[in-house]
């Protein structure tokens, strides 16, 4: 155990700050690049009589040179769900005309969606995050102690800020799947943190006389390090395969997951436990 994670905790904090700060500045100045799910637009659902290649559908939409982004989601063998920015009547008619040239089709849905749904989705996501944070603090407090719960939530906040900051910095468009990715990342990260905390608790129960809390926590991190690294690598392999081989509709979700899983592993090892040590040192009693 040549690397002492706890004694190097100031460097881990600095690394986290350097990674998060540009994203925070970007979020403050330009916010997130919200997709149709948040800004509103048109939703068109078509069902072709015969299978039509998704590249042909995308090409037909691209030929209309619509302002803003669009997405194409294949449904079954012959169906397509198309999301576009708000269309005028002429733009809508022209788009339907070029899509109709690809083959005989049946219009299942053609409607305009306002940004109200996006605001409602954002509000519910924030409420879900708040409820999850409170419940996790309660669970960790009951199983361990309040300071560990607080350290775990700060580590989770690190992951959320890093992912949203990177998406803002590089102007990557977000949709409803981004919210799902954030919630999934939180679940993954807290699981890894709890496993490390559980080993630290066992080590504290069998703490050797004269052994400092830094050494006890560092031993716990090393004892779970192999498990943490192997788990995150296994997840990354699957996500990378899905990113390159999966459809375009899940790329936002997969990219957010890739960033979040790596960040979650880092924060669980290098932030959560060191933060707990610092919180414990704030106590008046000698540890």
pLDDT in tens, 233-269: 999 999 999 999 877 778 889 999 999 999 999 999 9
- The per-residue pLDDT for 1 is 52
For the cut 80, the answer to whether the pLDDT of residue 37 exceeds it is no
- The per-residue pLDDT for 285 is 54
CATH of domain 9-35+117-281: 1.20.1640.10
- Percentage, residues of the chain above pLDDT 70: 96
- The per-residue pLDDT for 69 is 67
For the cut 80, the answer to whether the pLDDT of residue 143 exceeds it is yes
- The per-residue pLDDT for 118 is 65
In this prediction, residue 181 has a pLDDT band, given cuts at 50, 70 and 90, of very high
Residue 239's alpha-carbon distances to 72, 190, 244, 262, in angstroms, are 21, 19, 9, 11
CA distance 51 to 239: 28
- The per-residue pLDDT for 4 is 93
Instruction: Determine contact, residues 185/257, Cβ cutoff 8 Å.
Output: yes
Q: Which two tokens stand for residue 200?
A: 């630290």
- The per-residue pLDDT for 117 is 59
Q: What is the pLDDT of residues 73-131, one digit of tens each?
A: 888 888 998 888 888 888 989 999 999 999 998 888 888 877 655 677 778 878 888 89
Q: Where are the domains of the chain?
A: 9-35+117-281, 41-113
In this prediction, residue 164 has a pLDDT band, given cuts at 50, 70 and 90, of very high
In this prediction, residue 284 has a pLDDT band, given cuts at 50, 70 and 90, of low
In this prediction, residue 287 has a pLDDT band, given cuts at 50, 70 and 90, of very low
For the cut 90, the answer to whether the pLDDT of residue 176 exceeds it is no
Bridge partner list, 43: 83, 111
- The per-residue pLDDT for 14 is 97
In this prediction, residue 210 has a pLDDT band, given cuts at 50, 70 and 90, of confident
* Domain at 41-113, CATH class: alpha beta
For the cut 80, the answer to whether the pLDDT of residue 166 exceeds it is yes
Residue labelled with tokens 């936002």:
252
Residue labelled with tokens 């803002």:
168
pTM value?
0.83
Q: What is the pLDDT of residues 46-63, one digit of tens each?
A: 999 999 998 999 899 988
CA dihedral 132, 136, 137, 141 (to 10 degrees): 160
CA distance 146 to 5: 22
């Amino acid at each position: 155990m040549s690397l002492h994670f706890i004694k190097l905790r100031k460097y881990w904090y600095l690394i986290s700050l350097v990674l998060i700060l540009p994203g925070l500045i970007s979020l403050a100045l330009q916010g997130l690049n919200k997709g149709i799910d948040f800004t509103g637009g048109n939703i068109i659902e078509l069902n072709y009589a015969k299978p039509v290649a998704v590249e042909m559908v995308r090409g037909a939409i691209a030929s209309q040179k619509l302002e803003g982004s669009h997405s194409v989601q294949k449904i079954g063998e012959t169906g397509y769900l198309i999301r576009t920015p708000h269309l005028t009547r002429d733009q809508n008619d022209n788009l339907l005309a070029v899509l109709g040239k690809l083959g005989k089709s049946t219009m299942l849905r053609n409607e305009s969606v306002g940004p109200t749904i996006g605001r409602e989705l954002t509000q519910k996501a924030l409420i879900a995050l708040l409820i999850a944070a409170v419940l996790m603090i309660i669970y960790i407090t009951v199983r361990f102690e309040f300071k560990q719960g607080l350290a775990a939530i700060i580590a989770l906040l690190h992951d959320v800020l890093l992912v949203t900051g990177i998406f803002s910095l590089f102007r990557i468009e977000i949709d409803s799947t981004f919210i799902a990715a954030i919630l999934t990342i939180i679940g993954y990260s807290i699981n890894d943190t709890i496993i490390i905390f559980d080993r630290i608790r066992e080590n504290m129960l069998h703490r050797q006389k004269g052994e400092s809390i830094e050494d006890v926590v560092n031993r716990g991190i090393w004892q779970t390090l192999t498990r943490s690294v192997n788990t995150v690598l296994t997840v990354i392999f699957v996500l990378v395969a899905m990113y390159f081989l999966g459809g375009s509709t899940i790329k936002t979700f997969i990219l957010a997951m890739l960033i979040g899983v790596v960040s979650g592993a880092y924060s669980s090892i290098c932030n959560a436990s060191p933060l707990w040590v610092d919180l414990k040192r704030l106590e008046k009693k000698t540890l």
